[in-house]
Structure 1
Amino acid sequence: MIVFDLSCAHGHRFEGWFGSSGEYADQVAEGLIACPQCGSVDIGKAPMAPAVGRKGNQQAAAPRSHDGDAVSGGAMPAEVAKALDALAKVQAKALETSEYVGDRFAEESRAIHYGEREAATIHGKATEKERRELVEEGITVAPLLAPFVPPDEVN
């Protein structure tokens, strides 16, 4: 996985996880990445500090916040790691009983909502425009919170 610092046209910064730089470029082009604060799909990579290794005989002190706790770049607090692990496990369990519909997510969601298809729990891909349209139609959608590799992209 590659982690990029991203920002929207309004200056909000957030992090995105991608399988490759090409995957990032594809998702931006399709409008699949939206700012979690304002919903803007005008997204770009934010400047990042390069990861430069230290000499073998040097050890870096973890950066500290104003109250002395380790922050970004330091060790992840055990509570955060535990919470993220639990979230990933809950999501994986939920996806076991959910049908992956890929790019047909918007179409399948509408079919279920309007009774044209049997009710089912589904997950898949939708552009930001499709997501907005579904919400405007009263169709409940929610993003996956942990990184997910679609079944058709698994090695």
Structure 2
Amino acid sequence: MIRYSLICENAHDFEGWFSESADFDRQKASGFLACPVCGSLDISKVLMAPSVSTARHKEKIGALAVNEAQKEVAAKLKEVIASIRANSEDVGERFPEEARKIHYGETEVRGIIGQASLNEVKSLIDEGIEIAPLPMLPDDTN
């Protein structure tokens, strides 16, 4: 995972986690990247100091305290994601096809999750099909 410090046009600072550097550009271009404070889609990366991973650095990171509000938000987010996964059918790579069938009334309405390419996501949105990305948390991939 790659962590970027981000800022919106209204000067709200926040972090974003991406599986690779190109994910920031893809999410920004597709309109999936928004400021968590004001919802602005005009997001930029902020210059950051490089992070060099050493044993001592890892000890420091492990020792950093996360405030209670952050812990609560992270726990709630994990709960929501778990609930969505538990109450949805994972259709995998068939997601775009199944989303269209549901939207056009060709199959029963139900919650689905799965994978779609950036082009497929854009096509679904252009067709007026309401979809939303399910965030991958750092704990999900590490």
TM norm structure 1: 0.57
> Following TM superposition, by how much is the alpha carbon of 1:53 offset from its aligned partner in structure 2, in angstroms?
2.9
Structure 1 residues without counterparts, runs of 5 or longer: 8-12, 19-23, 40-45, 63-72, 150-155
State the match for 1:79 in structure 2. 69
Given the alignment of the two structures, is residue 116 of structure 1 paired with residue 106 of structure 2, yes or no? yes
- Of 74-83 and 129-138, more deviation after overlay is shown by 74-83
Give aligned-pair identity as a percent.
Answer: 29
Question: For residue 17 of structure 2, what is the amino acid of its counterpart?
Answer: E
In 2, the alpha carbon distance for the partners of 1:47 and 1:125 equals 33
Distance 1:140-1:47 versus aligned 2 partners, 3 A rule: farther
Alpha carbons of structure 1 residues 80 and 146: separation in structure 2 relative to 1, 3 Å: farther
Residues 38-93 of structure 1 show CA distances to partners (whole Å, capped at 9, x for unaligned) of 69xxxxxx9841122339xxx86x8xxxxxxxxxx943222112111111112211
Q: How does 1:21-40 map to 2 (within 5 A)?
A: 34-35=27-28, 36-37=33-34
Gap regions ≥5 residues in structure 2: 6-14, 35-40, 43-47
Distance change in 2, residues 1:92/1:117 (3 Å): same
Larger Rg: 1
Aligned length: 114
Partner of 2:82: 92
> CA RMSD, aligned part only?
3.7
> What do the CA deviations read for 1:117-150 (whole angstroms, capped 9, x no partner)?
111110001111111111111100011134396x
What is the identity, as a one-letter code, of the residue corresponding to 1:110? R
The aligned runs of 1:1-155 (5 Å cut-off) are: 3-5=1-3, 14-16=16-18, 34-35=27-28, 36-37=33-34, 48-54=50-56, 74-147=64-137
Paired AA for residue 2 in structure 2? F
Shift of 1:114: 0.7
**Secondary structure of the corresponding residue to residue 143 of structure 1:** coil
Which has a greater percent of helix?
2
